[in-house]
A and B are shown apart, each in its own frame.
Chain A
């Protein structure tokens, strides 16, 4: 089956548990994710949503796998751009692996269709979000953002 996929890998000086907390804690998320945050119980089968700072839902889905602090798999459907919503559910996998005092975070965002606009859209957002997350964990300060809500 043809798929569209975006993979991003970053190495962060932190622990798997701190990274897991940063990925799942809304107050932490607001600092590095364009002011957006997520709501979920982070258990397999739980609903999941990503909200703009004004409360509108940007993306939503379900937690497919949750193995803290190692692996999180979400189904992911855009909720604010009809042409992206129509593409259906993507899959977003977070893999967290420790190597000494460094943690490797791999994001794999994919959908079972060729040339998906959703994947094109998130490909621009992930490097910014994850660069900011890395800065926040390593320096205490996220990457400043010129505007908010650039997600897809």
Chain B
């Protein structure tokens, strides 16, 4: 493997004062994702093998993939492709694990895996974005308000 390619995971863990079912809804319903996921609306029937997508506020598809595993409210595994650059970048796999950490508290673990090696520079988008997204999800569930974090620009090779 060339030294500028990697299969390294990006992992982010956060603890949220909420029930597992609330975290599940926040991940799978557009009324929530539109408020913390850079304005993106999630769409799917959430059946294994179904298509899922994230739609940009202007209506274009941003991220598309297939629901690989769906075990509400515990585990959701999604393939992840950039809709406006089909075939240009290797598919990644995003897993959300929701566990009851202790009474009234959920541990949410997001793992972005790269079964096909990708350029290290392309990891940066996720490493910057996930803390913003999941900090916003936590605030939304705990306070009723997401965070007003500006949408970061993707690396220039990744702009629509």
Residues of A within 8 A of B (CB): 8-13, 99-102, 127-128, 131-132, 134-135, 138-139, 141, 143-146
Contact = CB atoms under 8 A, between A and B. Distances in A.
Contacts of A101: 148
Interface of B: 13-17, 101-105, 131-132, 135-136, 138-139, 142-143, 145, 147-150
Given A134-B135, A146-B102, A139 B143 contact: yes
A138 to B, nearest CB: 5
B110 to A, nearest CB: 11
13 contacts: A10-B14, A99-B149, A102-B147, A127-B15, A131-B14, A135-B17, A138-B143, A139-B17, A139-B142, A139-B143, A144-B17, A144-B103, A144-B105
Given A101-B148, A131-B16, A132-B15, A144 B102 contact: yes
Nearest to B144: A139
A113 to B, nearest CB: 20
Given A127-B14, A135-B142, A146-B103, 15 more contacts: A10-B131, A11-B132, A11-B147, A12-B135, A13-B139, A127-B15, A128-B15, A131-B16, A131-B138, A134-B135, A135-B138, A138-B139, A139-B142, A144-B105, A146-B101
A10 B130 CA distance: 10
Contacts of B145: 13
